[in-house]
Amino acid sequence: MAERTPWQVKTLAQIRLDKFISNQTLLTRSEARKAVYCGRVAVNGEIVRLIDMKIDENAAKVTLDGEEISFEKYVYLIMNKPKGVLSATDDKRDKTVVDLLPESYQKRNIFPAGRLDKDSTGMILLTDDGEFAHRITGPKHHIEKSYIVGLDGEITDEVMVGFKNGVTLYDGQECLSAVCEKINSTTARVILTEGKYHQIKRMFGVYGLGVVSLHRERIGNMFLPSDLQSGEFCKIDPEALIIRNK
Ligand code: URA
């Protein structure tokens, strides 16, 4: 990508006042306009009544009824996805991970960065930063993802060696080398560096094993916090998520 000139950087940070307010608060765009007209909004200490005034969203101090509106360019969350919930933004029939977020986040076009099957549980990242999502999910990046998998039969040495050598799925797709560590006779820790459709279920399927539970515990270097209950989420610092593998 071409380097941005300082002039371009400055231009990119400019945003209309009413848009800034509706992006960063629970107010709709028309409620934000009304708030400005009514003199409830100040920019850098001065009451303003121009809804189309351009402000620098990184630097301006905007208050609504005297309370500062904190500016978050992007939001980064991890959720403990419950069973039965889709890794999607919206769906006609089923609840999605985005439906579990409060309205203030739903307004921001947050989406899941990566997928877990409807019946899988555990760590899922949610953000409105497309570039960050691409770094997490892009096929070239090979970020480790670790899962605890319950099976309907015994995990044999053949399975563990097969995962290490790279499984060939029934449709001929070749999987990269993966870790399959036995926790007990029917429970494994599986570590993948790619994300094909239903990958773990199909990998075990090659050995005649069915997956009865699948829980993601880690993405990159970051574990799902143990106190995050099913359906709960928390904010993360995206810088803390080291993308390269351990
Ligand atoms: N592999 C699967 O089969 N399902 C998931 O949800 C994740 C990985």
pLDDT digits (tens, 9 = 90+) for 113-124: 999 999 999 999
Ligand 1 midpoint to CA 113 (Å): 14
| Mean pLDDT in residue range 210-228 | 96
pLDDT tens for residues 74-104?
A: 999 999 999 999 999 999 999 999 999 998 8
Q: Whose CA is nearest to atom 4 of ligand 1?
A: 198
Instruction: Please give the residue that has the higher pLDDT: either 190 or 238.
Output: 190
pLDDT category of residue 107 using cuts at 50, 70 and 90: confident
Q: Report the residue among 83, 85, 120, 189 best suited for mutation to probe ligand 1: largest number of ligand atoms under 8 A from its CB.
A: 120
Q: Does domain 10-68 have CATH number 3.10.290.10?
A: yes
Q: Where are the domains of the chain?
A: 10-68, 76-245
Q: Whose CA is nearest to atom 3 of ligand 1?
A: 198
> Angle 75-58-138 (CA atoms, 0-180°, nearest 5)?
40
- pLDDT for residue 221 is more than 50: yes
Ligand 1 midpoint to CA 105 (Å): 26
- Ligand 1 pocket (Cβ < 6 Å) reads 116-117, 120, 198-201, 214
Mean pLDDT, the chain, rounded, equals 91
CA 209 – CA 211 distance, rounded (Å): 7
Ligand 1 midpoint to CA 188 (Å): 14
Ligand 1 midpoint to CA 235 (Å): 24
Question: What pLDDT score does 243 carry?
Answer: 60
Report, at the CATH architecture level, how domain 76-245 is classified: 2-Layer Sandwich (3.30)
Question: What pLDDT score does 103 carry?
Answer: 87
For residue 150, CA distances in Å to 77, 136, 231 come to 27, 25, 21
pLDDT category of residue 239 using cuts at 50, 70 and 90: confident
> Angle 106-197-131 (CA atoms, 0-180°, nearest 5)?
45
Ligand 1 midpoint to CA 176 (Å): 15
Helix (H) or strand (E) holding 172: none
- What are the residue numbers of the active site? 117
Q: Whose CA is nearest to atom 7 of ligand 1?
A: 116
pLDDT category of residue 238 using cuts at 50, 70 and 90: confident
Q: Whose CA is nearest to atom 2 of ligand 1?
A: 198
Question: What pLDDT score does 39 carry?
Answer: 95
pTM of the model: 0.85
CA 142 – CA 242 distance, rounded (Å): 12
Q: Report the residue among 201, 216, 224 best suited for mutation to probe ligand 1: largest number of ligand atoms under 8 A from its CB.
A: 201
- pLDDT for residue 35 is more than 80: yes
Short-list 190, 230, 194, 178, CA closest to 214: 190
Which atom of ligand 1 is found nearest the CA of 120? 6
Q: Report the residue among 190, 197, 199, 212 best suited for mutation to probe ligand 1: largest number of ligand atoms under 8 A from its CB.
A: 199
- pLDDT for residue 8 is more than 80: no
- pLDDT for residue 3 is more than 90: no
- pLDDT for residue 134 is more than 80: yes
Instruction: Please report how many Cα atoms fall inside a 13 Å half-sphere around the Cα of residue 28, on the Cβ side.
Output: 2
pLDDT category of residue 139 using cuts at 50, 70 and 90: confident
pLDDT category of residue 137 using cuts at 50, 70 and 90: confident
Which atom of ligand 1 is found nearest the CA of 198? 3
pLDDT tens for residues 185-203?
A: 999 999 999 999 999 999 9
* Residues 190 and 179: beta-carbon distance below 8 Å: yes
Ligand 1 midpoint to CA 214 (Å): 7
